[in-house]
Chains A and B, each alone.
Chain A
């Protein structure tokens, strides 16, 4: 189908909408995290800026934006200035491939237009996420290197090692989903989970847990936040950053958390699937809205889990982190992948009932 100006306009509109929603959710995610952690510590949390502290993050962002841009003397100026953008750009891009709601059609003139609530429906789908999260390491690495500070350098060395190690586990826990559905297309992966066939409810619970844990390590969250371990490295790779550039790192971190949660929802928790939202060619308007709501509701549950774990667990030791990644997560995923591959082959030759264990 040839795309006309309306299709391109819709795409641009959807992209702008997703970007706005992403920014808004990230802004409030910071507040939610502070509130939840405060409640778990029997405190109140931010409550001064606006009702219930709703504008706390906005005030923080404004403060950071008007602060002086400062380059330390030992820094490599060009790379130092560039690194925050190298971190925040992939963070935004990774979210673009996720189908947020069911696609719907509308007729304009004599032509039917399909609106996919998705930044871009790439045929490589989930590989884009892996590519973007790999590119994001460059920002962290270069930030630490260019700062000319020992804390930054140590933080970025840790970040590179940690992210590269857990990237393997992350990819290996995505592979079972691809093997089971036989496609990289995220729309089809979501469609395959319709009617409560969420992968996390079946055999694929193991890769889901593994994905969540390695996602936590990938986004440098507690208990894997050795990259920015305050008690050891001041702030890790962004020690020497302030003002708007620090804000970009901060933003990227929270966008990454949201992206990991959203990807986990898409791959394992049925995406926008839920009651009264069937996978069909032309859903009603309220069904589309409900689908979007389900998607964000599920994402929010995972985000809460992130925050809950952060409030509970202490930081891991570095050798524990590495041995957990290489000696437990990756072997478990490899074995599971082999078993699953065997099951798929058995299903194809008919030695295993189709649909069993989904």
Chain B
């Protein structure tokens, strides 16, 4: 009658009682998110505070769940919002529809939209699920406007490297090589290591490229 097996099983549960628990006390303690975490999106700025979004609607076009709504408008000549002709004057993401696939990040020609490690997006109203530019656009200093409880204003500097690596807005010399434009995000970012399985010269080249400080607009 399996008494030996039962006794062995009982011993396992008994020993487990005295092992340290693995539970994370979530609202008080937060585990660090993986670097390529697909959290909610932000709209980035250039180092001089200009918005990166040019209102091209490629993100809205590629979105498989049709959760992005963008309307572009001509930049006012005396006070341009973004470098170039147009800017996105309406930018809304419905986070009830969003599946966090990151295709909008890949589609964006200026790396205006990227994903973050922010994930606390609870809302009590379906209307509140639609995040407008007021919430999506980063602040003047590159801090995200987030209402989460564990909000770290500097969390954007830990933004996922995958989106940066696959954004096509980089230098032509590095075409087809995973890397990221030096002007991604706000200011200069350090390269994420461990993703370059390429010939070493190319990999180093792309890393050096990202180290350059962005002076102007592309």
Contacts and interface: CB of A to CB of B under 8 A. Distances in A.
A42 B13 contact: no
Given A312-B10, A313-B6, A40 B17 contact: yes
Interface string B1-41: 10000100110111011011111010000000000000000
Contacts of A318: none
Given A308-B14, A328-B1, A43 B9 contact: no
Contacts of A43: 21-23
B16 A40 contact: yes
B10 A308 contact: yes
Contact of A36 (B1, B10, B17, B22): B17
B13 A311 contact: yes
A160 B9 CA distance: 30
Nearest to B27: A48
A312 B12 contact: yes
B21 A44 contact: yes
Contacts, number: 34
A39 B21 CA distance: 7
A44 B26 CA distance: 12
Which of B6, B13, B16, B19 has most chain A Cβ within 10 Å?
Answer: B13
Contacts of B9: 312-313
A309 interface: yes
Nearest to B18: A39
Interface residues of A, number: 14
B13 A312 contact: yes
24 contacts: A36-B17, A39-B16, A39-B17, A40-B13, A40-B14, A40-B17, A41-B16, A42-B19, A42-B21, A42-B22, A43-B21, A43-B23, A44-B21, A44-B25, A308-B10, A308-B13, A308-B14, A309-B10, A312-B9, A312-B10, A312-B13, A313-B6, A313-B9, A328-B1
Interface of B: 1, 6, 9-10, 12-14, 16-17, 19-23, 25
B17 A312 contact: no
Contacts of A44: 21, 23, 25
A252 B22 CA distance: 33
A312 B6 contact: yes
Interface string A311-352: 111000000000000001000000000000000000000000
Contacts of B25: 44
Contacts of B14: 40, 308
Interface in A246-286: none
A173 B83 CA distance: 88
A27 B142 CA distance: 52
Interface in A23-66: 36, 38-44
A213 to B, nearest CB: 11
A87 B19 CA distance: 39
Nearest to A311: B13
Contacts of B13: 40, 308, 311-312
A141 to B, nearest CB: 30
Contacts of B6: 312-313
Contacts of B10: 308-309, 312
B1 A42 contact: no
Which of B10, B12, B14, B25 has most chain A Cβ within 10 Å?
Answer: B10
B68 to A, nearest CB: 38
By Cβ-Cβ distance, the 5 closest A-B pairs, closest first, are A40-B13, A44-B23, A39-B17, A312-B13, A312-B9
Contacts of B19: 42
Interface in A296-320: 308-309, 311-313
Nearest to A43: B23
A42 B23 CA distance: 8
Given A40-B17, A43-B23, 17 more contacts: A39-B16, A39-B17, A40-B14, A42-B16, A42-B21, A42-B22, A43-B21, A44-B25, A308-B10, A308-B13, A309-B10, A312-B9, A312-B10, A312-B13, A313-B6, A313-B9, A328-B1
A309 B10 CA distance: 7
Contacts of A328: 1
A313 B17 CA distance: 16
Interface in A5-26: none
A243 B16 CA distance: 34
A162 B127 CA distance: 52
Contacts of B21: 38-39, 42-44
A174 B10 CA distance: 27
B60 to A, nearest CB: 42
Contacts of B22: 42-43
A248 to B, nearest CB: 30
Contacts of A36: 17
B37 to A, nearest CB: 24
Which of B20, B21, B25 has most chain A Cβ within 10 Å?
Answer: B21
A165 to B, nearest CB: 18
A333 B16 CA distance: 35
